[in-house]
């Protein structure tokens, strides 16, 4: 859309600048699980595939809503966004109804893509979208069959090479050494669902909870950090979205509890092609009074940033993490 000159679907320079400004402004909200932060569209030719994925799954549905003036272009983007979100979700891709819906959306996307941008641009990559639902049915969420993990692991492989002579042999030896210690790291990971780090003796507290508090909640796929705007939103099993301010011990329940505030107002970010809330994507506002929840209620981490309106923020459940991809190798 940024460079197309056919079918009158290109984005004007002023709109390109608006998108770039938005992407630059939300850098400070991107959780640390994502290795690459949003960059200006002026750098688009240098974007990595992970940056395009970030735009498709998390940022594009917001920034394009306020910039793209032709509704059919935004709807076309949302069709791909919703389909890929479903296929990336460990929860939704297990439900046949959602998988079938994603397949229907991808078929619609490919057809409308050709009508909007020109059939000559339907490359192998675009046509391949018609077949990925079958892969998801057999293999699981898209993250299981993507090659991002190998791309992200390349930097670590390069660090294993100490000299120019026989690089392949060096890599094999170093990986062998790492595998010798792998079992102890795996057993350590399997021993906990949540681990607590960075103890402190400050609040906030509520009645019935005791210090020391903890700043970090470490899970296998992500880390939550109290009072860190990038990393302190979590999603609970009942659908609540909570801003974490502290972690403290409950003397009555004999367990760790999170202390924070819940977002009371939750509405759809978009309603076409489906309600965003079906995917766990919300516009939120109005925080509750300070309350406490069991740490075990946490099921995911949230990616939250300003929606462009001073009253509302948008929340996306994290579907993948770059750290998870590297650890799976």
Distance CA 230, CA 32 (A): 7
Q: Which of 144, 161, 186 is the last residue of a domain?
A: 144
The mean per-residue pLDDT over the stretch 133-157 comes to 83
Q: What is the pLDDT of residue 181?
A: 60
Q: What is the pLDDT of residue 327?
A: 40
Res. 182: pLDDT tops 60? no
On average, the pLDDT of the chain sits at 88
For residue 154, being part of any structural domain is answered with no
Q: What is the pLDDT of residue 326?
A: 35
Co-location of 33 and 131 in the same domain:
yes
Res. 3: pLDDT tops 60? no
Query: According to the 3-state scheme, what is the secondary structure of 82-98?
Result: HHHHHHHCCCHHHCHHH
Co-location of 113 and 217 in the same domain:
no
pLDDT in tens, 67-105: 876 688 899 999 999 999 999 999 999 999 999 999 999
For residue 44, being part of any structural domain is answered with yes
Distance CA 279, CA 317 (A): 8
For residue 124, being part of any structural domain is answered with yes
Res. 205: pLDDT tops 60? yes
pLDDT tier, 235 (very low <50, low <70, confident <90, very high otherwise): very high
Instruction: Decide if 284 contacts 307 (C-beta within 8 A).
Output: no
Co-location of 87 and 203 in the same domain:
no
Residue-range definition of the domain harbouring residue 209: 194-317
Domain count, the chain: 2
Here the tokens at position 62 are 């917001």
For residue 170, being part of any structural domain is answered with no
pLDDT tier, 204 (very low <50, low <70, confident <90, very high otherwise): very high
Q: Which of 103, 129, 144 is the last residue of a domain?
A: 144
Q: What is the pLDDT of residue 328?
A: 41
Looking at the chain, the whole-number percentage of residues with pLDDT higher than 70 is 89
For residue 186, being part of any structural domain is answered with no
Distance CA 318, CA 242 (A): 14
pLDDT in tens, 251-309: 899 999 999 999 999 999 999 999 999 999 999 999 999 999 999 999 999 999 998 88
pLDDT in tens, 12-60: 889 999 999 999 999 999 998 888 899 999 999 999 888 999 999 999 9
The mean per-residue pLDDT over the stretch 6-11 comes to 67
For residue 102, being part of any structural domain is answered with yes
pLDDT tier, 318 (very low <50, low <70, confident <90, very high otherwise): very high
Instruction: Decide if 201 contacts 213 (C-beta within 8 A).
Output: yes
For residue 156, being part of any structural domain is answered with no
Cβ atoms within 10 Å, residue 105: 23
Distance CA 243, CA 290 (A): 10
Looking at the chain, the whole-number percentage of residues with pLDDT higher than 90 is 65
Res. 143: pLDDT tops 90? no
Q: What is the pLDDT of residue 323?
A: 43
Q: What is the pLDDT of residue 46?
A: 92
Query: According to the 3-state scheme, what is the secondary structure of the chain?
Result: CCCCCCCCCCCCHHHHHHHHHHHHHCHHHCCCCCCCCCCCHHHHHHCCHHHHHHHHHHHHHHHCCCCCCCHHHHHHHHHHHHHHHHHHCCCHHHCHHHHHHHHHHHHHHHHHHHHHHCHHHCCHHHHHHHHHHHHHHHHCCHHHHCCHHHHHHHHHHHHCCCCCCCHHHHHHHHHHHHHHCHHHHHHHHHCCCCEEEEEECCCCCCCCEEEEEEEEEECCCCEEECCCCCCCEEEECCCCEEEEEEEEEECCCCEEEEEEEEEEEEEECCCCCCCHHHHCCEEEEEECCCEEEEHHHEEEEEEEEECCCCCCEEEEECCCCHHHHHHCC
Res. 1: pLDDT tops 60? no
pLDDT tier, 310 (very low <50, low <70, confident <90, very high otherwise): confident
For residue 263, being part of any structural domain is answered with yes
Distance CA 30, CA 258 (A): 22
Instruction: Decide if 317 contacts 302 (C-beta within 8 A).
Output: yes
Q: Which of 83, 117, 144 is the last residue of a domain?
A: 144
């Amino acid at each position: 859309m940024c460079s197309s000159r056919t079918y009158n679907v290109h984005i004007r320079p002023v709109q390109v600048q608006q998108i770039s400004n938005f992407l630059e402004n939300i850098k400070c909200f991107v959780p640390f699980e994502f290795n690459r932060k949003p960059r200006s569209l002026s750098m688009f030719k240098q974007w990595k595939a992970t940056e395009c994925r970030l735009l498709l799954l998390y940022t594009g549905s917001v920034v394009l809503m306020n910039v793209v003036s032709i509704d059919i272009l935004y709807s076309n983007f949302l069709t791909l966004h919703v389909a890929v979100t479903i296929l990336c979700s460990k929860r939704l891709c297990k439900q046949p109804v959602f998988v079938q819906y994603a397949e229907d959306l991808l078929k619609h996307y490919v057809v409308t893509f050709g009508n909007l941008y020109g059939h000559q641009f339907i490359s192998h990559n675009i046509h391949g979208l018609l077949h990925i639902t079958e892969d998801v049915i057999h293999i699981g969420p898209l993250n299981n069959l993507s090659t991002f993990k190998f791309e992200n692991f390349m930097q670590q492989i390069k660090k294993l090479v100490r000299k120019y002579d026989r690089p392949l042999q060096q890599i094999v030896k170093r990986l062998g050494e790492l595998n010798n210690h792998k079992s102890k790291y795996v057993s350590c990971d399997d021993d906990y669902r949540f681990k607590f780090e960075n103890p402190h003796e400050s609040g906030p507290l509520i009645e019935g909870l005791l210090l020391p508090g903890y700043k970090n909640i470490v899970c296998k796929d992500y880390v939550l950090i109290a009072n860190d705007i990038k990393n302190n939103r979590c999603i609970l099993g009942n659908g609540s979205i909570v801003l974490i301010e502290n972690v403290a011990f409950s003397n009555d329940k004999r367990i760790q509890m999170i202390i924070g505030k819940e977002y009371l107002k939750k509405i759809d970010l978009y309603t076409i092609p489906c309600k965003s809330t079906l995917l766990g994507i919300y516009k939120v506002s109005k925080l509750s009074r300070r309350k406490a929840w069991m740490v075990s209620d946490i099921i995911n981490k949230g990616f939250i940033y300003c929606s462009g309106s001073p009253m509302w923020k948008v929340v996306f459940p994290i579907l993948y993490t770059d750290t998870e991809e590297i650890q799976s190798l």
